[in-house]
Amino acid sequence: MTLFLYNPKARQWNQSYYNSADPTPSAPLVGEFRDGRGDLYAQDTYAGRAILVRGSWFDITPDAHRYEESYSQDGGRSWVTVFKAQLTRIKA
């Protein structure tokens, strides 16, 4: 499950993931949506190393959007995309 919460004072979104096998939420990604794009960031570990994680939403329409998740091992100077999705609403 994914939970999005908006903090109006900070004008930022938080996104947390929940897994039925482990009910502890992930560290939230935090960021904002601006000009049709959302970028949220978090710190995590991968293969025992500290990394930055970036979740990006773009090409947002009422019925579709694209999502990419990227990792950085150098403090955000470079990014490697590890997941891509194109989500589309199916009309009844």
Q: What is the pTM of this model?
A: 0.86
Number of domains present in the structure of the chain: 1
Q: pLDDT, tens digit, for every residue of 44-90?
A: 988 899 999 999 999 999 999 999 999 999 999 999 999 999 999 99
8 is in which domain, residue-wise? 2-88
Q: Which residue has the tokens 């589309």?
A: 88
Residue whose C-alpha is closest to residue 6's, from 49, 42, 52, 38 = 38
Rounded CA-CA distance 92/83 in Å is: 28
